[in-house]
């Protein structure tokens, strides 16, 4: 009984100490949810493309999630740099910011190549019939990811610079805005990249060029003389591959249930913003825990949520109105676009059930992954966010499908 009032006082103190940062977190989540709905509308409007390219949906969550994983981790590392006083904007590539940005760009290109191979392997392993060729996967993944990588990278650094100028807590806003930008830019670029797939001679040649480019970039980054750059890439590749496999499995779930989403295309609209919102909440909590670990405010020798209780309350305060806004937003977008949809209460019920399941795991996973990474001598900024967002993508996929089935909408 003593702990609860103390926790509430700590939460109130957190709000009072950084009202602008907390408010910026809400704004970032609203922007992220709105952007995610736009991305969802794009996904719900290209059902013909998804039918034309069997297996493409397996890769979509992996590629969209990878952009958020790479640049969300970048934002988390920049947030820690700000808190520890090592953040400096400069055009030089040998600075902390410069090496982080180059490492993220290299990871984005090389990981896109590997995710194409993972998506094809998962589709074949689980018996998905008539999937597109490996060359198609590679071309769509790598070429469709080039523009999003540049855009999201610039946004991540821009948000960090704005946070320094305006005294925001970057942990509250970076992952959300980066994830939203990744959703909004990646989906249309992947759609445009499909026009390069299935072309005789051209597609295989482009795929070979993409494969060579991805491998060369990775080797150069791994052999770099810049310690920070090399360490980030070395530590990130295994966790990004693991996250890609998990995300591709989530995509497989949607691909297998694609016919159900064709009945009510507005349910497909929910997929990007729901997964994005779940990942953003997890990323915010992960980033805050990682920063406290670096500052020595959380004891990594034992697992206890007490030191981060106010952070959990903050993310809870973000989650409830954002999931409600997502449900109402999906209803509005569906009506404006003329997409077939279930009743408003049913759609809100899907979001409520799936959101409750996802959030319950968010708290445990964000804390445990950050502390476990720190105890293993790894950087929680680099490892925790990809693990959290990828797992939440898979859990979110299960949760959405479970909610749809439970409410009899399939």
Q: Where exactly are the structural domains of the chain? A: 3-406
Q: CA-to-CA distance for 153 and 97, rounded, in angstroms?
A: 11
94-109 b/e (C-beta count within 10 Å ≥ 16 → b): ebbbbbbbbbbbbbbb
pLDDT tens-digit map of 203-237: 999 999 999 999 999 999 999 888 888 988 988 88
141-156 b/e (C-beta count within 10 Å ≥ 16 → b): bbbbbbebbebbbebb
Q: CA-to-CA distance for 200 and 218, rounded, in angstroms?
A: 28
The pTM of this model reads: 0.72
| Distances in whole angstroms, Cα of residue 393 to Cα of each of 57, 134, 387 | 13, 24, 10
User: CB neighbours (10 Å) of residue 85?
Assistant: 7
Tell me which residues of the chain have a pLDDT lower than 70: 1-4, 11, 14, 18, 21, 90, 167-172, 175, 259-260, 262, 410
What's the half-sphere exposure (Cβ side, CA atoms, 13 Å) at 139?
A: 24
Q: CA-to-CA distance for 143 and 85, rounded, in angstroms?
A: 37
What does residue 129 show for φ and ψ, rounded to 5 degrees?
-80, 150
pLDDT tens-digit map of 255-313: 877 766 767 888 888 888 888 888 888 878 888 888 888 888 888 877 777 777 788 88
What does residue 234 show for φ and ψ, rounded to 5 degrees?
-60, -40
């Amino acid at each position: 009984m003593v702990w609860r009032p103390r926790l509430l006082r700590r939460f109130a103190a957190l709000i009072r100490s950084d009202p602008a940062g907390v408010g910026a977190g809400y704004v970032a989540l609203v922007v992220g949810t709105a952007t995610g709905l736009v991305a969802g509308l794009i996904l719900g409007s290209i059902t013909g493309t998804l039918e034309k390219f069997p297996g493409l949906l397996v890769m979509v969550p992996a590629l969209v999630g990878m952009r958020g994983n790479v640049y969300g981790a970048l934002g988390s590392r920049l947030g820690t740099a700000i808190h520890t006083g090592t953040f400096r904007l400069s055009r030089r590539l040998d600075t902390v910011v410069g090496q982080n940005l180059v490492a993220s760009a290299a990871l984005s290109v090389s990981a896109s190549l590997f995710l194409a191979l993972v998506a094809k392997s998962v589709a074949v392993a689980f018996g998905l019939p008539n999937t597109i060729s490996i060359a198609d996967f590679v071309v769509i993944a790598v070429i469709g990811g080039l523009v999003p990588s540049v855009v999201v990278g610039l946004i991540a650094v821009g948000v960090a610079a704005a946070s320094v100028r305006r005294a925001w807590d970057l942990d509250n806003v970076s992952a959300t805005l980066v994830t939203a930008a990744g959703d909004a830019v990646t989906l249309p670029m992947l759609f445009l990249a499909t026009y390069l797939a299935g072309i005789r001679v051209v597609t295989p040649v482009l795929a070979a060029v993409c494969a060579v480019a991805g491998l060369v970039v990775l080797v150069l980054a791994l052999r770099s003389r810049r310690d920070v750059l090399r360490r980030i890439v070395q530590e990130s590749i295994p966790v990004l591959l693991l996250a890609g496999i998990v995300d591709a499995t989530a995509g497989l779930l949607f691909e297998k249930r694609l016919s159900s989403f064709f009945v009510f295309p507005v349910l497909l609209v929910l997929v990007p913003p729901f997964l994005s919102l779940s990942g953003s909440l997890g990323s915010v909590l992960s980033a805050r825990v990682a920063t406290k670990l670096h500052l020595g405010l959380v004891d990594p020798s034992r697992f206890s949520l007490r030191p981060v209780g106010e952070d959990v309350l903050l993310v809870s305060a973000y989650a409830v109105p954002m999931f409600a806004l997502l449900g109402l937003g999906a209803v509005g977008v569906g009506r404006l676009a003329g997409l077939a949809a279930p009743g408003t209460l049913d759609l809100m019920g899907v979001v409520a059930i799936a959101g409750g399941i996802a959030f319950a795991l968010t708290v445990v996973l964000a804390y445990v992954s950050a502390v476990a990474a720190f105890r293993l001598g790894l950087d929680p900024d680099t490892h925790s966010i990809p693990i959290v967002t990828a797992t939440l993508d898979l859990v979110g996929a299960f949760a959405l499908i479970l909610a749809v089935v439970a409410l009899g909408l399939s």
